[in-house]
Amino acid sequence: MLLNLYYFWSLILFKISLVFLLSSLFFLINDFSIMLEWVMFNASSISMSFIIYLDWVSMIFSFTVFFISSMVVLYSKSYMGDYNNSSIRFLFLVLMFVLSMLLMILSPNLISIMLGWDGLGLVSYCLVIYYSSLKSYLAGMITCLINRLGDIGLLISIGWLFSYGSWNFIFYSDYCITIMYLIVISSFTKSAQIPFSSWLPAAMAAPTPVSSLVHSSTLVTAGVYLLFRFFSQFMFSSMILLLLSLLTMIMSSVCANFEFDLKKIIALSTLSQLGLMMSCLLSGMTDLAFFHLLSHAMFKSCLFLCSGIIIHMMGGNQDIRLMGSICWVIPTTCTCFNISNMSLCGLPFMSGFYSKDFIVELGVFNSLNIFYMILFYMGLGLTALYSIRLTYYTLLKSYSYSPFIIFIDGSIYGMKYSVVILSFFSVSFGSLYMWLTNLDMHFIMFPFTLKIMCLFLVLMGLYLGYELNFIHYLFTYKFYLLNGSMWHMYSHSYGLFKLGYWYSGALMTSLFWGEFYGGLGLSFYLNKLANASQLLFLGGLKTFLLSMIIWFVIFL
């Protein structure tokens, strides 16, 4: 039953993804879109309607979500073990996750976006705590609480648009620019930008197939997609927010170079790419941000699924210092792992090269500040640096783990199919998308030195990343601790909660007179009266004689 259920839903999701792909091509060629509106009810001047907006952008993003989901479900059939209620629960949680994301993609209505947004948050919490350990519970709490901060922006936006009579932001272009700041705050928390970055590595407590789905096309990309949708209505730029997104890219890349947990390194690489997408959006290059979003989804899902196979074969070990030379045991998985890793660092003619190279070149062409361009180039070089470090530790270094681990396991053959298919898209998707959407028609004229700067930085990052593995002893323990804690971002994120707690405590102190003269004061005095009467009646002989004298005097 379980085999049929996993295969059945994988096939259904794959067929739906093909429908979305063909529809996106049809919409792109004919250059039109469809809007379906269902008016639920009218109350006074408020119209509550549900809108589905179909264009080639929403279609191709839905194709990416459903295609990766079908590969993840196919992979999970072997990864999640035998038939039991827990595996069935996992499957339906993944399907609910995809449904919530679809609700957010297709509707330009803030109410339905909020439903999909909260659905993503709730289901992600259930998936993070899936293994029911203390670490999972703490990670789920961090994920849930920090994502709650992002809901504040959406809730205030819904209240703001209430005065306009409708929550369809697609109709407001001029006088609603102020809600853009609220949407940016929501997107920053969901996409884990500074200062809300600490929840994203903590979410690695979830099973690896979920991490692949979350970090490629669903939860963390929801903020980028929401901003992309709003940018089609409003042109919005802020140099401070651009600096924050670039600092997120630099911070996560530096931390990934000094991390030893395999899944956390890949999570931090996701964070650096999200910083690149956000900085691309905030500098006005919306089409390229969406292009990088799709190509990143392909190779990052492949990278996570390959890491899941490696962890499975290593008996649950995630420390890269204990890995090494596993390419002799699982050559197909290691080949796909290397392909997606090289695509991540932007090696020429891989999927990630087309978007990254184009983003940096257009950023220079658009006359960005020299400081911002230095940060762009630094992020590009650091990406190559941690990619080759990961390759060295997992594939080239000598094996350092227990010799009693049995690598021969037939269960991984079911996982290999999805990994091989995704690795094919890690190579070809960038060029295919670029030719389909005519992005290669942009004319950019550069001197030779600037043109090869991206390639030079990638190659320099590869060389430095390899050399860094031999001089790791030069860095102190405290330096590793600083980068392992993401520059103490955990405490910074919780500062907002502490501030609210302190303020509410001070407010309760100033309003204590209301409690004093209310129910709390009454119970306090009744307590004192009961204690006094108890002391009186249990006081012994002296109290008894004193009460006799008092009553004797009264009645005389």
pLDDT tens track for 163-173? 777 777 666 65
> What is d(CA 362, CA 283) in angstroms, rounded to the nearest whole number?
10
Average pLDDT, the chain: 78
> What is d(CA 209, CA 91) in angstroms, rounded to the nearest whole number?
11
Q: What is the pLDDT of residues 398-427, one digit of tens each?
A: 776 666 565 555 567 778 888 888 888 888
Domain boundary among 202, 230, 258: 230
What is the secondary structure of 209-252 as a DSSP string?
Answer: HHHHHHHHTSTTHHHHHHHHHHHTT-----HHHHHHHHHHHHHH
Residue recorded with tokens 């059939």: 77
Q: What is the pLDDT of residues 26-37, one digit of tens each?
A: 888 888 888 888
Q: Is residue 410, in this structure, part of any structural domain at all?
A: no
Q: Say yes or no to pLDDT of 1 above 50.
A: no
- Residues 501 and 515 both lie in one domain: no
Q: Is residue 547, in this structure, part of any structural domain at all?
A: yes
Q: Is residue 409, in this structure, part of any structural domain at all?
A: no
Q: Say yes or no to pLDDT of 62 above 80.
A: yes
Domain boundary among 212, 230, 248: 230
In this structure, the number of other CB atoms found within 10 A of the CB of residue 42 comes to 11
> What is d(CA 477, CA 181) in angstroms, rounded to the nearest whole number?
40
Amino acid letter for position 59 = M
Confidence of residue 556 (pLDDT cuts 50, 70, 90): low
Higher-pLDDT residue of 241 and 482 is: 241
Of 123-137, 275-289, 369-383, 497-511, give the lowest mean pLDDT range.
Answer: 497-511
Range of the domain at 485: 475-505
Highest mean pLDDT among 166-170, 211-215, 285-289, 510-514: 285-289
- Residues 531 and 484 both lie in one domain: no
- Residues 331 and 432 both lie in one domain: yes
**pLDDT at residue 242 in the model:** 84
Confidence of residue 90 (pLDDT cuts 50, 70, 90): confident
Burial class (CB in 10 A: 0-12, 13-18, 19+), 271: buried
- Residues 40 and 187 both lie in one domain: yes
Domain boundary among 178, 208, 230: 230
> What is d(CA 422, CA 439) in angstroms, rounded to the nearest whole number?
23
Longest CA span, the chain: 119
Q: Say yes or no to pLDDT of 543 above 60.
A: yes
For the chain, give the percent of residues with pLDDT over 70: 80
- Residues 303 and 174 both lie in one domain: no
Please count the helices (runs of H) and the strands (runs of E) in the chain. Answer: 23, 2
Q: Is residue 482, in this structure, part of any structural domain at all?
A: yes
Question: Mean pLDDT across the stretch 134-149?
Answer: 80
Closest CA to 299 of 353, 334, 341: 341
- Residues 245 and 197 both lie in one domain: no
Q: Is the peptide bond before 195 cis (omega within 30 degrees of 0)?
A: yes
For the chain, give the percent of residues with pLDDT over 90: 1
* Mutual angle of helices 262-282 and 370-391, in 10-degree steps: 160
- Residues 461 and 480 both lie in one domain: no
Q: What is the pLDDT of residues 323-373, one digit of tens each?
A: 877 777 788 888 888 888 888 888 888 888 888 888 888 877 776 778 888
**pLDDT at residue 548 in the model:** 73
Contact 318, 277 (CB under 8 A): no
> What is d(CA 162, CA 156) in angstroms, rounded to the nearest whole number?
10
Q: Is residue 491, in this structure, part of any structural domain at all?
A: yes
Residue recorded with tokens 């390194």: 265
- Residues 454 and 484 both lie in one domain: no
Q: Say yes or no to pLDDT of 514 above 50.
A: yes
* Mutual angle of helices 110-128 and 221-231, in 10-degree steps: 170
> What is d(CA 326, CA 333) in angstroms, rounded to the nearest whole number?
10
Q: Say yes or no to pLDDT of 61 above 50.
A: yes
Structural domain total, the chain: 4
| Helix (H) / strand (E) containing 51 | strand 46-54
Q: Is residue 411, in this structure, part of any structural domain at all?
A: no
Residue recorded with tokens 């609603």: 176
In this structure, the number of other CB atoms found within 10 A of the CB of residue 397 comes to 17
In this structure, the number of other CB atoms found within 10 A of the CB of residue 122 comes to 16
- Residues 152 and 202 both lie in one domain: yes
- Residues 96 and 212 both lie in one domain: yes
Q: Is residue 203, in this structure, part of any structural domain at all?
A: yes
